[in-house]
Amino acid sequence: MGLIVLVYVLITLVVALYLFVKWRYTFWKNKNVFTLEPTFLTGNLKTPNGESLTPIKAMARLYKAAKARGEKYAGFYVLVTPQFIPLDPELLKCILQTNFDHFTNHGFYVNEEGDPLSGHLFNLEDDKWRNLRAKLTPTFTSGKMKMMFQTMVDCTKGLEEMLNECAAVNEPVDIKEVLGRFTTDIIGSVAFGIEINSMKNPDTDFRKYGKYIFEANFRQRLNLIILNTFPRWFVKAVGFKLTRKEIESFFINVVKNTVEYREKNNIYRKDFMHLLIQLKNMGKVLGDNEETLKGNHKNVSEGLSLNEISAQAFVFFIAGFETSATTMTFALLELAQNQDIQEKLRQEIKHVLKKHDDKLTYDAIMEMSYLDKVISETLRKHPPVNQLPRGCSKDFQVPNSDLVIKSNMMVTIPVLDIHNDPEYYPNPEKFDPERFNEENIASRPPCTYLPFGEGPRTCIGLRFGKLQAKVGLCSVLSGFNVTLNEKTNLPIEYSRNFVLTVKDDVWLNLERLNK
């Protein structure tokens, strides 16, 4: 008798699940919003014939279908969760700028107590985000970039040594791996004040944990399923953690030991950690000298806790090393296939450096206008964050329609698809830095170039990221001509990571140039 009851219960649960999912998939149809037919449990991440799609390919499929119909927005299903997809530039401007108060948050999971490294600026919401953003903004001014610039330049020595070794024996270089180590060294030095030296020792803990965070492994896919299936209050209540315990322990201990050592010994360095210590002791950034370590004006209510500055150092590390390395990798991949653009850029670099006594200075980098165009075009064709998330915090009526986006609805902006839309960028597959001359920039609608987001929640570290990429490219191109090695797979495929990267290795040939 008990077995029969159990069978009935299981059948009831299966039927209830089936009916719930089928009902859930009527969400966009009932609102008269265009969407593609979802498949059971996988939503739009599979085609009707059962072909699995990466999130990038699934979004591209929807974007093309919606644009072909002239739609200004569309609906999408991630597993069983509906998401709103804005397509029209004016609607994008409404969400990112005009009506930002409705879309302040990224909608990501954050649990400052149970998962302290999740409590960083990218994840925080509402007033907590506003307050921390205001405190951190002074750490990313042009003056602070100048302060950290020499640290970046110092790290190019290890990069140039490794490239010289490969060129001397005529061996191709896996530029994706090399640049990942280069930016790990920069961020380690600037964010933590630690000489990591992963150029010579690729097995350092910083490199190991940095690579793991961006691996598309089973745990990450399971996290995605959990966060797109269960409400956030439930996930938080059961103690769900995004960060592995060993990663959390490593980064918090590094920050704790660094802060204690500097405060005890009155150590001053021109880096991000020094600014975070000021925020811990005084609640604000005051200056760039030794006196600011002492915290004579400490206001406990305004100062950041050790966990809070650990979270900011953590996100600065993971965002700073991966996005800049990826941008440089894509730039060199494109330049290797466009020798005329590479040579034009090299001539600019040499010309400007000659004016500055052959020294790579902050002012020299700022003079390199064509370098800025090359970086901008790289970020256009291969934006590190290919889909920009926004969580609706209060009901919003879409202009010129009767559609209301309800509170807690996720909005996903298809950055990669907008950047590759021929309406805004003719012949989008072509790598053309002149898309970013003044005339072409002025001709495009607003919110059609979004590598760093737009509006009040624009990436706070965009200056640092671009500066780091420019320093790396100057170092490589002033000394070497790069060409594509036959080991590089073309056409490239993107990985499934949150940050857009090449799935496979990128192998380049190096030809040493006479300086």
The reply, when asked if residue 459 is annotated as ligand binding, is yes
SS (H, E, C) 143-175: HHHHHHHHHHHHHHHHHHHHHHHHHHCCCCEEH
From 321, 327, 325, select the one nearest 379 (Cα to Cα): 327
Q: Where are the beta strands (DSSP E) in 48-154?
A: 73-78, 81-86
402 vs 32: CA distance, rounded Å: 10
7 vs 15: CA distance, rounded Å: 12
150 vs 383: CA distance, rounded Å: 27
167 vs 170: CA distance, rounded Å: 5
Q: Which two tokens stand for residue 34?
A: 């265009």
- Check: CB of residue 378 under 8 Å from CB of residue 327: yes
Q: Which two tokens stand for residue 133?
A: 């953003």
Contacts of 323 (CB under 8 A, 6+ apart): 384, 385, 465, 499
The rounded Cα 100 to chain-centroid distance in angstroms is: 20
For the beta carbon of residue 191, count every other beta carbon within 10 angstroms: 26
From 55, 56, 73, select the one nearest 65 (Cα to Cα): 73
**Residues forming a β-bridge with 78:** 43, 81
- Check: CB of residue 465 under 8 Å from CB of residue 318: no
- Check: CB of residue 193 under 8 Å from CB of residue 262: yes
336 vs 374: CA distance, rounded Å: 13
From 429, 508, 395, 392, select the one nearest 96 (Cα to Cα): 392
SS (H, E, C) 311-340: HHHHHHHHHHHHHHHHHHHHHHHHHHHCHH
- Check: CB of residue 304 under 8 Å from CB of residue 255: no
- The answer to whether the Cα torsion of 32, 34, 39, 43 is positive or negative is negative
- Check: CB of residue 271 under 8 Å from CB of residue 189: yes
Binding annotation: 459
Binding annotation for heme: 459
